[in-house]
Amino acid sequence: MKTINDFNFDGKRALVRVDFNVPLNEEFQVTDATRIHAAKPTIIKILEDGGSCILMSHMGRPKGQVNDSMSLRHIIDEVEDILGVEVKFVSDCIGAEAEKEAADLSPGEVLLLENLRFHSEETSGDVSFAEKLSKLGDIYVNDAFGTAHRAHASTTIVAQFFADRKCFGSLLAKEIESIKKVMESGEKPVLAILGGAKVSSKITIIENILDKVDHLIIGGGMTYTFVKAKGGNIGDSICEDDKQELALEILKKAAAKSVQVHLPVDVKVANAFANDAKTKVVAVDQIPEGWQGLDAGPQSLENFKKVVLDSKTILWNGPLGVFEFENFAKGTIALGNHIAEATENGAFSLVGGGDSVAAVKQFGFEDKVSYVSTGGGAMLESLEGKTLPGIAAILA
């Protein structure tokens, strides 16, 4: 697996696929610069070697149309602040102007290309478009894990024009290593915590990780499909009725592989889906009609704490409750604290998937876990056992 550490970029132009698809407010200011910070180590390494950087990214879904609200020119100031260097900008990502600007770069300089998705050929994975991009650099570096699951021109197809002059950036390399630690080389016991609303969105992950984990904690809305399948009363809680058979099948497979499955035993229920609803704690299989489970209960959290603190490798994907409501965030916060404690005690912890990453950021756990993945869909597909096209293209 070649990374930027296998190359000296002295005098070279690096064509770097970054993921600068960052949120902007109405004044077009960046509201979360996490992805820009994440790309910084790769860019700085290239510049310190004596190379120059041509950065390419998409923003939003302009569907092949030029749309100023999704122009990457809006983020130039933020990128300059984070990198500490001037960033040049070109109003297209291919063509004569882009080629001239790239060719004129001096060592230590950075050029940001305009939104790749202003060309429909980017998302269709067009070979000719990828070849035009390839003319801009000497070495191709993919550092965009968030888009590695898409076979787009800049994430996958372009790599074929660089033969042995392609590599992973430090962020993408870290993502691959972190997932490998959980799925292949993790110290036992290995624990996976899967939350969120639907069993259906996690089926493939569960089936793929059963051979790798020793413990599986199931929380969040998924809980109630399992509880109902086992004959419990779940009141008005969220449930995928058509997945009850599958839930029982998962429990059966887990038992056959000696994986211990931990479901909540008690839950905090509410008489409405609202932060100010009436609440009480009841057994998970005895939720009255008109009430719905919105968070894990105190006994469940105690049970989960023991499992977490006994684990050496931990994957966390999905919250334990409706953490967006302050009154139902306690379970997710408690779980975060337990994982932080386990990490401090030497466990490796990987957090991935949109909602759990949002929770980790919201409640300040980012620096208390081993690694927070930057890619939602890419992370999930990796956990499902799929080979991501953006990764395969570098390894080819």
304 assigned to a ligand binding site: no
> Dihedral (C-alpha) 378, 40, 29, 32: value to the nearest 10 degrees?
50
DSSP-derived secondary structure for 75-100: GHHHHHHHHTS-EEEES-SSSHHHHH
The rounded Cα 313 to chain-centroid distance in angstroms is 18
70 assigned to a ligand binding site: no
356 assigned to a ligand binding site: yes
CA dist 139 and 167 (Å) reads 8
60 assigned to a ligand binding site: yes
Q: Which residues are catalytic?
A: 35, 198, 354, 377
35 assigned to a ligand binding site: yes
Per DSSP, what are the bridge partners of residue 168? 3, 142
117 assigned to a ligand binding site: yes
27 assigned to a ligand binding site: no
CB 166 within 8 A of CB 327: no
84 assigned to a ligand binding site: no
Question: What does the block give as tokens for 200?
Answer: 């259906």
Question: What does the block give as tokens for 86?
Answer: 């001037």
202 assigned to a ligand binding site: yes
118 assigned to a ligand binding site: no
355 assigned to a ligand binding site: yes
| Strands (E) located in 273-353 | 279-283, 286-287, 292-296, 313-317, 348-351
| C-alpha to C-alpha distances, 324 to 158, 275, 321, 328, 330, nearest whole angstrom | 40, 9, 9, 8, 11
Q: Is the peptide bond before 107 cis (omega within 30 degrees of 0)?
A: no
Cβ atoms within 10 Å of 186's Cβ, excluding its own: 22
278 assigned to a ligand binding site: no
150 assigned to a ligand binding site: yes
Q: Which residues are annotated as a binding site for ATP?
A: 202, 293, 324, 353-356
Give the annotated binding-site residues for substrate: 19-21, 35, 58-61, 117, 150
Instruction: Name the binding residues.
Output: 19-21, 35, 58-61, 117, 150, 202, 293, 324, 353-356
